[in-house]
A and B are shown apart, each in its own frame.
Chain A
């Protein structure tokens, strides 16, 4: 047995490889990117024994993984929490069809929104899909989960959602590796109706899924990731989900005096919960993300006793990730005084790198729009160029989710707001901008779409963009008129020329696309983009 220093993301990836993984698919997104990257760098992927590539988006990742598991193999798709919104359709319907080989959907939530636009909690998606969820508490468990979860998935023919949160995804600890299991043989399912979700089949499958809920609960009661640790002081009982368990152990020196139910697998192990509730007069729920378990225990109307405390009661902050100090204070431990805070540091927001091509494009946008700012708006998207919102640029007006730039610009233009400009990156365009462009072409919408093509997925560290070198052909194929499909090079020396081109296309009363193409300064400095990767990021 060997020990390696691994991020939670990497431990999960290594655990999957050792559990007989055949394919890993995903779209880059913080804090999940390192799961798929780790698989891609592994000897197993390099030799071709494991398939791993960046897909165009999270939906295609889950569908590809579903297809691979249909063929009897073990497969997984990895994404950040908001990526599951994009992949919700295949995720929820794969629970109805069920799986053949094992299927894991790995989702990294980002409480505190370190690099995200919301802090949605993926555990709630498992309620819609009616699938089990496993939430490792530490890096060793992250390694141990895939072997267990693939077996579970194959035993019950159900996808399993593995939930990580930022701190586990991006923290390193020594991990002891176990034995390696061979990959599954190719074996297509013989019960073909199961995968044809015509209503008559789907109703049957849905009934089966409902009946399975009891089996999932039984599995949770016996899961190695759920554990009731008895304590001597029953004035308080703690339910600690995922990494919250580490904080409880940390602030109690590894030996809490009150009983603690460690939760790492859902549905909630109800028998253990009942045991805890029966012996304690107060319950504190510690969980990353939404007050998911807390709401369940509270009930509606709230049960009179025991008293349930957590995020809803205000004992733990309602938003943001947990920390050792927030857990210590919820447990009633006194604050440890550090040095007084200094008033000197001012905020230092992230910024576009010196020499970044997006900076030049932002200046072009600002100058072209200078006299049109009253009504003109720039609908932007997810990527480094979102930083164009900050000083000194102030170049963009919106950033909602992947692909929303083009379609929001179209809707605003339909409403009469002009000029309506969309600003979107090359990989975000490939992820979910192309369909919106088709809408614009079909309706001859008066929008000007600027695709900032830095030929990489920059924000997540430089993965290869899935539409690389094909943007012009894609736009032509979708039906953009060649006269209004322009390519510019965003360089300071070409500023005036670029402003003139943008102004021309703004005055064209139909869809125009301007591709602002110059390589990311970071990948340029490194001398090469990562050749093994495929795909786009956020």
Chain B
């Protein structure tokens, strides 16, 4: 088992929390793990990406090689398209459909979603609507994680344990909301597939 994943989004969307959940879940299973992230200037409302790799055989590189990613998991539709050359031809793309329009020249959203729908394997989830059902817009990142579960190679209960562990220091209600968001994301993807 080996997964090379590109996480994509915009600063402030909670991308690194998802990376932490995946890392915790993979480590809990005794897998080899590499995860790299962007800090500093890039975080201020700009493009944020993280590479995460886990495997039952040793890994060496912190970065995913172009053309080898199994999955692009994105919290924003335009950002999901930024890394296509990293994706294997049969790789999957899972993205939130809700745009972050903090730039003046954001492209036409229908064109972006249309391009995503033409990809061989994709899931599009409206994480804002689902997060609202879960009780907080803050858990949109976990909704998208839930929607990506079929491609992660990790069992749902491992990911659940990861969520509990990563948010252990927070208000228990936040943990419950995040778990609810995650599960609703899993269901949303199931319905969409």
A residues contacting B by CB (< 8 A) are 5, 30-31, 33-34, 114-115, 138, 167-168, 170-174, 243, 246-247, 249-251, 254, 323-325, 328, 335-342, 344-353, 384, 387, 391, 459-461
Contact = CB atoms under 8 A, between A and B. Distances in A.
Nearest to B100: A348
B115 A171 contact: no
Contacts of B111: 344
Interface string B131-167: 0000000000000000000000000000000000000
B81 A344 contact: yes
Given A5-B33, A172-B36, A339-B91, A346 B85 contact: no
Given A172-B36, A324-B65, A345-B81, A338 B89 contact: yes
B164 to A, nearest CB: 16
Contacts of B47: 348
Contact of A342 (B11, B82, B88): B82
Interface of B: 10-11, 23-24, 27, 32-47, 58-69, 78-79, 81-82, 84-89, 91, 102-107, 111-112, 115, 119
A172 B52 CA distance: 9
Nearest to B105: A346
Contacts of A34: 39
Contact of A324 (B44, B63, B85, B105): B63
Given A31-B40, A33-B39, A342 B33 contact: no
A250 B67 CA distance: 14
Nearest to B52: A172
A338 B87 contact: yes
Contacts of A173: 33-35, 62
Contact of B39 (A30, A251, A340, A384): A30
Nearest to B88: A338
A339 B46 contact: no
6 contacts: A5-B33, A250-B60, A324-B64, A342-B84, A342-B115, A459-B41
A173 B47 CA distance: 23
Contacts of B78: 344-346, 348
A172 B23 contact: yes
A34 B36 CA distance: 14
Given A171-B62, A247-B61, A338 B69 contact: yes
A338 B36 contact: no
Contacts of A30: 39-41
Contact of A341 (B61, B85, B102): B85
B10 A167 contact: no
A115 B39 contact: yes
Given A174-B27, A350-B44, A340 B102 contact: no
A251 B47 CA distance: 27
B115 A114 contact: no
Given A339-B91, A345-B78, A459 B40 contact: yes
Given A170-B38, A344-B111, A254 B23 contact: no
A115 B39 CA distance: 8
A251 B36 CA distance: 18
A459 B39 CA distance: 9
B95 to A, nearest CB: 12
